Amino acid sequence: MLDVPWRRFTWLDDPSQTSQVPVACEGPSSNWASVSDQRLSQGAAELDDYIKSRLALVSDDPANDFPSINDVWTAFENRLLVLNSIIYYEPVMRDYIRYQLQLYHT
């Protein structure tokens, strides 16, 4: 399941144009581009690091970045929105269910 953001039919919202969740698996509009195209134009390592940064709650200076517990929860909820946009995309959910059924079968 870790390869989901790098699949052919996943899309990336232009973070300079919106403050919305930048990773999703929905069809594109004017601000959206294919993740595979973005990896070619921006560089795979840079884009992969960007996507990972949207999924991980890591900080070099947590005292400044998250001065209160509410700030931590807000950041955590934002990561859940990113994950929801990936996990609840129908082809990904289908693959996940298939994977789980194979695990139960073995």
pTM over 0.75: no
pLDDT at 20 over 60: no
pLDDT at 42 over 60: yes
Given this model, what pLDDT does residue 74 score?
A: 93
- Which carries the bigger pLDDT value, residue 18 or residue 4? 4
Return phi, psi of residue 105, to 5°: -70, -35
69 by DSSP, 3-state: which?
helix
> How many Å separate Cα 30 from the centre of its chain?
19
Q: What is the mean pLDDT of residues 38-56?
A: 82
How many residues in the chain? Answer: 106
Q: For position 79, what pLDDT does the model report?
A: 85
What single-letter DSSP state applies at residue 5? G
Fill in the DSSP letter of residue 4.
G
